[in-house]
Structure 1
Amino acid sequence: MKVEIWGDVMCPFCYIGKRRFEDALQQFDGKEKVEVEWKSFQLNPQMKTDPSVNISQYLADVKGWTLEYAQQMNAHVTQMAAEVGLTYDFDRAVVANSFKAHRFSHFAKSKGLGDAAEEALFKAYFTLGKNTDDNETLAELGEEIGLDKNEVIGVLNSTTYSDDVKHDIAEAEYLGIRGVPFFVMNGKYAVSGAQAVPVFTQTLEKAYGEWQGEQAKPKLEVIDGPVCGPDGDC
């Protein structure tokens, strides 16, 4: 069963939601039959990468908040992250456009490393204070998860996977997704936001139960008549 997750590397709730979903999946009996696919979403496509700007000040300027309020909000989210074992350091976070990071993620997905790429990107952004719009940084992250560093640089120096990112964003718009993280299970059920683990568990069970039913061979009521079989008998 496929679970599609729309997210953005700069979204603090996406990393928290990833952990909570993983906790639910780990407890789920059918986890071996669940395929997770990450999809691209940009919260701020117009953002200009600027390592010199403090993220709290950036949020204050963009959202019209006071700096003190922005810092309080980040402190609150940092505490939420700590509750699921994550360490956020907003003082080190780099203001960076996420389009290139999404292209990197798509390349990693083509090599079967999509989830590893998302994990590396989130950690780089929220914990390590790395510039996720920088080619060398992304190449190093790629090498750490098993990608060829030169291949990563080649991809980033081109426009490869740009259309894939745009397709994900367009699909999100078609589905009416207005915020991330957004989890779609078996193309039928969705969970919006970094919900509590039981919410993911219940939705997984419901979606998986239906998915299993869809995999079952149809039982047909057959009216027998003259036929030819594969052994040549007619």
Structure 2
Amino acid sequence: MTPTVWADVRCPWCWMGHRSLAAALERRDRREPVVRASYLLDPHGEGHPGRTVREVALASWGMDEDGWRAMRDRVETAGRAFGLRIRMDGVPAIDSRPAHRLLKLAQARGVDPEHAWDLAFSALLEHNRDLGDPEVLRDLAVEMGLTAEDTDPLWSSTAFAAEVDADHRAAVEAGVRAVPTFAVGDRTLSGARSVDELVELLRVGAEEVGR
């Protein structure tokens, strides 16, 4: 029974969950393969080119400066507990679909998904790189071990778009409403869970298939 985690690269809690899952997998005697599935927090959005999440939150979400600072501080403090440096003020307000397509391409080319996702999270949330920009995604692909030319199908076709949409659709059908969501069989956990909680989820899932 293969564990699945749904996540969006836009989501700082997903980066925390990603790191927590990596630690949980390291703690187990056997390292299960994990399906890393795409989830789109805004499946119909096109992002806000040239704007940050902060700017969009203040202009469109009904959030004032005090509310933004409280949310930012909560996220950044939580991230530090996972060893992460998250810089919310500068995060670009992107459509994450192109980044998800790159992650699918990287996996198809044999790049370790755990490594690829970590690079994508770091690029956006720590270094505030615009993952809606094709040139930035080409550079990120090189950091993943691909070539810039490997990304050409992402711009000349709809390559890997169907796979991203299928992941999101499967999440909706499974009742996923927030990310990260971790699933093993019929058991699910949502949010940036502790290592202990994820170890227990993996243990119970393994027992259910007789490992």
Q: What is the aligned partner in structure 1 of residue 151 from structure 2?
A: 152
- What is the CA–CA distance in structure 1 between the aligned matches of 2:158 and 2:88, rounded to whole Å? 30
Q: What is the aligned partner in structure 2 of residue 74 from structure 1?
A: 72
Deviation at 1:156, TM superposition (A): 3.2
Name the amino acid aligned to 1:152: T
Q: What is the aligned partner in structure 2 of residue 25 from structure 1?
A: 25
- What is the CA–CA distance in structure 2 between the aligned matches of 1:48 and 1:162, rounded to whole Å? 14
Greater relative contact order, per chain length (Cα 8 Å cut-off, separation 6+): 2
What's the RMSD between the two structures over aligned residues? 1.5
Q: What is the aligned partner in structure 2 of residue 171 from structure 1?
A: 170
On the 8 A contact 1:53/1:94 being kept in 2, the answer is: yes
On the 8 A contact 1:9/1:101 being kept in 2, the answer is: yes
Matched, 1:95 2:97: no
Higher Cα radius of gyration: 1
- What is the CA–CA distance in structure 1 between the aligned matches of 2:198 and 2:80, rounded to whole Å? 19
Gaps of 5+ in 1: 214-234
- What is the CA–CA distance in structure 2 between the aligned matches of 1:192 and 1:82, rounded to whole Å? 20
Name the amino acid aligned to 2:95: N
- What is the CA–CA distance in structure 1 between the aligned matches of 2:132 and 2:200, rounded to whole Å? 37
Q: What is the aligned partner in structure 2 of residue 131 from structure 1?
A: 130
* Equivalences for residues 186-201 of structure 1 within 5 A: 187-201=185-199
Q: Secondary structure at the match of 1:178?
A: coil
On the 8 A contact 1:12/1:77 being kept in 2, the answer is: yes
- What is the CA–CA distance in structure 2 between the aligned matches of 1:181 and 1:142, rounded to whole Å? 23
Q: What is the aligned partner in structure 1 of residue 5 from structure 2?
A: 5
Q: What is the aligned partner in structure 1 of residue 56 from structure 2?
A: 58
On the 8 A contact 1:135/1:153 being kept in 2, the answer is: no
The 1:108/1:179 distance shift into structure 2, 3 A limit, reads same
- What is the CA–CA distance in structure 1 between the aligned matches of 2:123 and 2:200, rounded to whole Å? 31
Q: What is the aligned partner in structure 2 of residue 223 from structure 1?
A: none
Name the amino acid aligned to 1:8: D
On the 8 A contact 1:100/1:156 being kept in 2, the answer is: no
Percent identical: 27
1:208 to 200, 206, 209: 206
Deviation at 1:206, TM superposition (A): 0.6
Give the count of matched residue pairs.
210
- What is the CA–CA distance in structure 2 between the aligned matches of 1:19 and 1:42, rounded to whole Å? 20
- What is the CA–CA distance in structure 1 between the aligned matches of 2:35 and 2:60, rounded to whole Å? 31
TM-score of the pair, normalised by structure 2:
0.93
Deviation at 1:53, TM superposition (A): 2.2
- What is the CA–CA distance in structure 2 between the aligned matches of 1:90 and 1:197, rounded to whole Å? 24
- What is the CA–CA distance in structure 2 between the aligned matches of 1:125 and 1:65, rounded to whole Å? 22
On the 8 A contact 2:2/2:35 being kept in 1, the answer is: yes
Matched, 1:37 2:35: yes
Gaps of 5+ in 2: none
Name the amino acid aligned to 2:19: R
- What is the CA–CA distance in structure 1 between the aligned matches of 2:74 and 2:204, rounded to whole Å? 32
- What is the CA–CA distance in structure 1 between the aligned matches of 2:171 and 2:204, rounded to whole Å? 22
